[in-house]
Amino acid sequence: GPASLRALSLVLSVAAIAVLFVVVRDLSGTTPALWAALLMALAGPQIQYAQEARNYSLLLLEGLGAAATLVRIEKYGPSRPRAATLIVCVLAMALTHYFSIGAIAALAVYAAVRLRGPSLRRVAGCFILAAALWCVVGAPLAVRHWRNRDDPRATSFLRDDRPGHAARTLLRVAALPVRFIAEPMTTSRGVAAAGGVVFVLALLLALRRRDLLLWSIWLWLTVLPLAALDLCRRTQHLEFVRYTLLASPALYAIAATLLSDRRERWIRHLPPLLVALACALALPAAYSAWWKSDWRALAGEIDRHARPGDVVVFWGYDKGGDFAGDPNASFYYTSYYRRRPLGPIVLMDQPPDDALARQLSEFAGVLVVAPPGQSFDEIARGSPRRRLASEPPAAALWRIDAPTPP
């Protein structure tokens, strides 16, 4: 069921919050660490992806685990357990998502700047060994993915060929820090201006305070490769916050630590307090599932309207790589939520031939699940039909009564 399926992401997300606390505590102290953990717990994107059976919470935990280990090596020196943990975390990051390459690079740059002597050599060996293991375990799959990089089924939703692509990409980059706090958030110029300040501030602080160096490099190097990818390939990865979610802990750490070196106690707490209030005000949106089609409601409508003797047709053309138009997608998504067994089912991505049309005409009625706005006249031409439910952008449910035999 939904609870067991999504429980792993929930557990990993909570564990990532705890590991962020450890890293910030080791770098800046307990009070900033508590603020950083609170901000990560309240941030909208963290809540969203803690509800999803996807790999982004896992990636956060692996990345923060690598950061915690590297900081421990900096403070206390290398050891076999720390070296093994660093290798496992870096390798796991690379195997979990290709877009972890920026955060891995940030860890390597931080190690090169902060470590010396045996510690640096040991950490460099850990990165080299992790890379070698990835070449054995992950490279074969990466080669297959590279060959399919232009498959429209996998990339159509990422294309952005309209005029003004470069300007939109820059706005998306600048808006990311605000989106890490409260999502949904448009890429408006005002939001982008506020977020852009964070990138500049992170660089300036890194030059002055060594406890913020890791977070500044982490924020920049996690986002910049995706920005370059979007600019070079005219894509819009930055439009989807999940691809840059790994950069978000850096923002929480920077906000929590921003004024932690000030003498006035109340000023130290002001930046994280304001960010926490913004997160709290945006909490309803984090739980509203606005970012997903409401397949649960559509499944309920199918349960309500399906009658004995009906056949259910999941219909759709998937010519342009639009998964919303894939009958397999609408079948699987509604199957997850349906509570009543259905009778005969047809998955159809092209008009029926004469034999299938004759079979459909023998049923008392035909329920059709089709993407909104997509014609399905080919299923039963001339037969009366009525729309029973519509859940955009998921699909609409129609009934065709007594189809006319061909």
What would the two tokens of residue 110 be?
A: 């931080």
Q: Which of 305, 289, 383, 367 is nearest to 330 (CA)?
A: 367
Q: Under a CB-based contact definition with an 8 Å cutoff, are residues 223 and 203 in contact?
A: no
Q: Under a CB-based contact definition with an 8 Å cutoff, are residues 154 and 321 in contact?
A: yes
Distances from the Cα of 269 to the Cαs of 108, 197, 253, 275, in angstroms? 31, 19, 13, 10
Q: Which of 56, 144, 140, 145 is nearest to 93 (CA)?
A: 56
Determine phi and psi for 39, rounding to 5 degrees.
-65, -40
Where are any strands of DSSP class E within 358-404?
365-370, 385-391, 395-401
pLDDT tens-place values along the chain, 406 residues long:
677 888 999 999 999 999 999 999 999 999 999 999 999 999 999 999 998 889 999 999 999 999 999 999 999 999 999 999 999 999 999 999 999 999 999 999 999 999 999 999 999 999 999 999 999 999 999 998 888 887 776 677 888 888 999 999 999 999 999 999 987 666 577 777 888 888 888 888 877 888 999 999 999 999 999 999 999 999 999 999 999 999 999 999 999 998 888 888 888 899 999 999 999 998 888 877 666 778 888 999 999 999 888 999 998 865 554 455 677 788 888 888 888 888 899 998 888 888 888 888 888 889 999 887 777 776 766 678 888 888 877 888 999 876 455 4
Entry pTM: 0.83
pLDDT of residue 285: 81
Start-to-end C-alpha separation, the chain: 42
The rounded distance, in Å, linking the Cα atoms of 18 and 64 is 10
Q: In what order do the strands lie in the sheet with 310-315?
A: 345-348, 310-315, 365-370, 395-401, 385-391
The Cβ of residue 81 has, within 10 Å, a number of other Cβ atoms equal to: 10
Angle at alpha carbon of residue 179, lines to 164 and 42, rounded to 5°: 170
* Residues present in the chain in total: 406
DSSP string across 273-313:
HHHHHHHHHTHHHHTTTTTS--HHHHHHHHHHH--TTEEEE
